[in-house]
Structure 1
């Protein structure tokens, strides 16, 4: 069965990897809109990293929105025209964005079966699931199995991150005003996680240096507890590539059996909420080929 995979730019997929699999239409990444002041940009369509960084530094409003149903409709119809028989559409957590809702609406308008998946995660935790889906699709798996491979891998990922300030998360409605004010008053540097699709506090630390060190400790403990040879890491940053490289280096030294972490800038749609100076680490597991797919729901 020929199955196409659609996702959104919050998946933080490496550009060269996307290029390899998008050529025949097997993978489509729908850009998520980012509004900087009065201007609207498309993630992946416009070079907006510097624009957002300047906006965040100067206090210019930065907001995000979900792609329109029409954008997904176009992606699904393109798959149909290319001869695909089904689509698996995997998206950023529904608790953080209405993207999956747009995809579901679009799915009702097209003449090709579409399985919409709320990943309940973000960044390369979502990206790892998409990669597993694409590999399963390339292997000729039916849509239900492609979905199952994606969901299985995403269920085995964790997202941990540190933000220097909670203000941008407050502005975007991802945390409450009281939490932001409390954090600011007491100089708290929070370590956050994504749990069941939502951003939740993990620990509260009193200094930036200690917060980054504790983030590293949490990641090392998680990765070390994974099945032998299976742990995989990704590090995201925004405006602080040097810090990300240093963190990745320390993780490599602490986890010599784990492949080096993939380092990339946080997608603009996520950076708009996390703010400058964010450090995020995704802990996942290898997408080892299996003779049998995970349990299909």
Structure 2
């Protein structure tokens, strides 16, 4: 099933159910050869899931030499290495059958692919059995033409219950972040992008962003309509630092049709040098408002 009641409610409110049904035909369970080839070229993967103990939803970054993510069956991907022991999602991926959303995104080509399913641990990392596989259009994706892998030792993760002034400034300069959401039968990881300043920090506990027009599926907003738990991931594309936020989100619908997502922060995890990848400066998407 492509859509659950939360997505249907948002589609009906916006008036795009017929369009969503058409777009949803592209969602399958199988990994096509072109998708398998795309995965093997990627040096990073975004994963989103709920912690099986606390229930907190988080988004995390995995990196490796191209080929560390690969299709190992018509409906399965395998990820070598897994998450570091200090990552807040590590326990979730070590549990058999955890609903997980994955996003493979290539800034060099502005292509992305989402695969949602259930994870299981493997001797080399973990695998995901697919329930949904689909590509997204390049809207709001910033192009970064190249990257290099540098020697970095991840720093000790710093935990807090609110955003510092430095973290708030970092978020307001961001042109990209990743968003993990869940529903009763699964999880999803998606991308949000725009020109710097598209994310607003209203207080140490509150951030918001405008929901730009997309593919009309409303998987993310549909998940939030059904379950407000969410996790955000902001990356420093040059230094490799990662900022993970856990909390809840809701969508406000204005009379003119504009949508704003408001996120309440309950936990902040900042990890210096979390990624060994140093990306080139962005070329902003021509679709950015």
Shorter chain as denominator, the TM-score bin is under 0.3
Query: Greater CA radius of gyration, 1 or 2?
Result: 1
TM-score of the pair, normalised by structure 1: 0.27
Return the structure number with greater strand share. Answer: 2
